[in-house]
Structure 1
Amino acid sequence: MSEEMRIEDYLAKGGVLSNPANVPPRYRAELLKLMASFVDSELAGAAGFADIINQGPGIKERIAAARIVLEKTDHADRVLRIMGEFGADTARYANHHPWTARLARDADIGATRGEHDMRLAVFNYPLTGWADAVMMNLLMGRAVGVQMADFALVSYQPLAEAFRAIAPVEARHAELAEEGVARLIAAGETETLTDSLSYWWPRVAASFGQMSSPKTESLKAMGLRHASNAELKARWEAEAGQVLGRLGLSAPA
C-alpha cells in the first residue's frame, strides 16, 4: 500500500509511467477502461461508416470514407497493442464484439454504454445515409479532437505517444467531414443536413458523460484526465459552433 501511495503522489505531481509492471492496480483498471473505450469506439465507428462508403456521391467521397474507415481501424490497433502489454487477448478482440450492432434510430440512451462493449453511446445509433453520416462525422470529429487533446497528456507514456500520433489524423477526418458538408450544401442538401444536425448534436454532446462526475478528480490525480467533462463539452460546443457557422448552419438550441 505504501508503495502504491508513493506512485500516486508521483502521478499527482505530473509524473509518468511507462511499464505495465510499475502500474498500481487502481491505475491499471482505469487505464484499461480508457483504452477499451477508445478502441471499441474506433472499431464501432469504423464499422458503421464502412456500410456508408458506397453511398458516397462520387469516387473522391468514397475514397475519403474508405480512408477514414482504414485509419480508425489502424488507430484501434495501435491502442489495442498497448492493451496487449497488459494481458488483453488482442488476437480475439476484433471478432469478440458485434461492432455493426445498432439500436433503433429513435432510441435515447443518453451516455449509457451498451452491454457488449465499451463504445461511447453515440456509436450505438444507426446512420441513415450519406448526408447523415457526413454530419455525424463532422460533429463527432470535433468531439474526438477535443478529447484527443486531453488524451495526449495521459500519464502512461506509451499511450500518450500513441494518442499524439493519432490526433492529427483524426483532425483530418473532421476536416474531410467539413468539406463534405460544404459540398452537400452546394448540392441543395441543407434541409437533410439540418435534420441530421438536430439528431446528432445531443447524442454527440452526451458522449462527454455526466457534467459532474465524482471520479474526475481521482482520474486527474492519476494523470489520466486533465479537464472535466463539462470543460471538454464546452470546448466542443464552441469549436463545433464555429465550424457550423462557417457553413451557414447553426447549432441546435
Structure 2
Amino acid sequence: MAEDMSIESYLAAGGVLTNPTNVPPRYRAELMKLMATFVDSELAGAAGFADIINQGPGIKERIAAAKIVLEKTDNADRVLKIMGEFGADTDRYATHHPWTARLDRSADIGATRSEHDMRLAVFNYPIEGWTDAVVMNLLMSRAVGVQLAEFALVSYQPLAEAFRAIAPIEAHHGELALEGAVKLLEQGAAPAMQDSVNYWWPRVAASFGTGNPERMEKLRQMGLRRASGVELKNRWLAEAAEVVTRLGLRTP
C-alpha cells in the first residue's frame, strides 16, 4: 500500500488486507457481521440436519446427512477461528446460541434475522421429515454456492481463502441432495417434493435480503461485496429453476 494512500482508498482501489492490524472500525464491523452470518447459519443448518439423520430411509442416506452435519460444523469452525483473531470468544460461541430453535412451520418472517443470533432467516424454519430435508438442501445448497462465489472475492484475504476452501465442500452437499432427490422421485415422492419446493422456494429467495443501495455501495468500496443481493438472487433463481425443472418439478 502506498504511504500516501489511506486504507479506505486502498480498499476502494481493490486492495486486500491480511491481518486485523490497522483494519478500519467500519470495515471490521462489516467483516464481523459477514463472518457471524456465515458461522451462525452453518451451525443452525447443521443443527437442523442433525435432527433429521435418523429419519434417513437407509444407511447411505443417514451417512450423507451425518456428513453434512459434520462438514457444516467444520466450515463454521474454520471461519470462527478468523473471528477469534478479531477478539470473538470462540470457546463460548458454539454453546451461546440455541441453534436448534425454530419457528412454527407457518411463520413468514421474510429476511428478518433471529433474535438469538445472525443466522439467515431460512434457518429459523423447521424441517419436516426426510423428503423436506432433501428439497431444502437442494435449493439452499445452490444459494450457498452463489453466495460463496461472491464471498471468495472479499478483500480480507484469510477469509477469502477460507471461503474458497469451503465452496467445494458445500457444492458436494448439493450433489448429495440431487442424488437423494432423484431417488425420492423413483419412489413416487413427487407430490411431497413439490409441496416442499413450494414451501422453501420463497424462504431461500429471502436469504439474499431486500437490498440497500447506500450500504451496498459502502461494502463495494471496502471490497466486501461486488454483486448486489438482487444480482445474487437472480443467479440463484436461474440455477434453482434449472435443477427443479430437470427433476420434473415446478418452480412456484
* TM-score of the superposed pair, with normalisation by structure 2: 0.97
Q: What are the Cα deviations for residues 116-159 of structure 1, in whole angstroms up to 9, with x where unaligned?
A: 00000000000010000110000000000000000000000000
- In structure 2, what residue type is equivalent to 1:67? K
1:154 aligns with 2:154: yes
Matches within 5 A, 1:118-197: 118-197=118-197
Q: Which residue of structure 1 lines up, in the alignment, with residue 92 of structure 2?
A: 92
**After superposition, what is the alpha-carbon deviation per residue over 1:69-90, rounded to whole angstroms, capped at 9, x for unaligned?**
0000000000000000000000
CA distance in 2, matches of 1:170, 1:246: 21
SS at match of 2:110: coil
Q: Aligned residue for 1:203?
A: 203
**Maintained 8 Å contact 1:54/1:62:** yes
Q: Is structure 2 residue 81 aligned with structure 1 residue 113?
A: no
CA contact (8 A) 1:16 1:155 kept: yes
Residues 200-232 of structure 1 show CA distances to partners (whole Å, capped at 9, x for unaligned) of: 000000000014543111101100011000000
Letter in 2 for 1:195: D
After the TM superposition, which parts of structure 1 deviate over 6 Å for at least 4 consecutive aligned residues?
A: none
Q: Partner residue of 2:56?
A: 56
Distance of 2:20 and 2:110 partners within structure 1? 34
Tell me the equivalent position of 1:245: 245
Query: Residue in 1 aligned with 2:19?
Result: 19
Counterpart Cα distance in 2 of 1:213 and 1:175: 34
Structure 1 vs Structure 2 CA RMSD: 1.2
Write the deviation string for residues 234-253 of structure 1: whole angstroms up to 9, x where unpaired: 0000001111122111211x
Partners of 2:192 and 2:82 in 1: CA distance: 41
Alpha-carbon distance in 1 for matches of 2:127, 2:222: 37
After superposition, give the CA deviation of every residue in 1:75-124 in whole Å (9 maximum; x if it has no partner).
00000000000000000000000000000000000000011000000000
Instruction: Answer yes or no: is the 8 Å Cα contact 1:43–1:72 preserved in 2.
Output: yes
Q: Distance in 1 between matches of 2:218 and 2:198?
A: 34
Contact 1:37 1:120 in 2 (8 A): yes
Residue type of the alignment partner of 1:200: W
Shift of 1:197: 0.4
Q: Structure 1 CA distance, aligned partners of 2:246 and 2:214?
A: 37
In structure 2, the partner of 1:33 is 33
Does structure 2 conserve the Cα–Cα contact (< 8 Å) formed by 1:212 and 1:230?
no
Counterpart for residue 225 of structure 1: 225
Distance 1:36 1:196 in 2: 28
Q: d(CA) in 1 for partners of 2:73 and 2:19?
A: 25
* Maintained 8 Å contact 1:110/1:203: yes
Tell me the equivalent position of 1:103.
103
Using the alignment, how far apart are the partners of 1:143 and 1:165 within structure 2?
17
2: CA distance, partners of 1:144 / 1:153: 15
Q: Which secondary structure does the structure 1 equivalent of 2:21 belong to? A: helix
CA distance in 1, matches of 2:213, 2:140: 22
> Which amino acid is the alignment partner of residue 152 of structure 1?
A
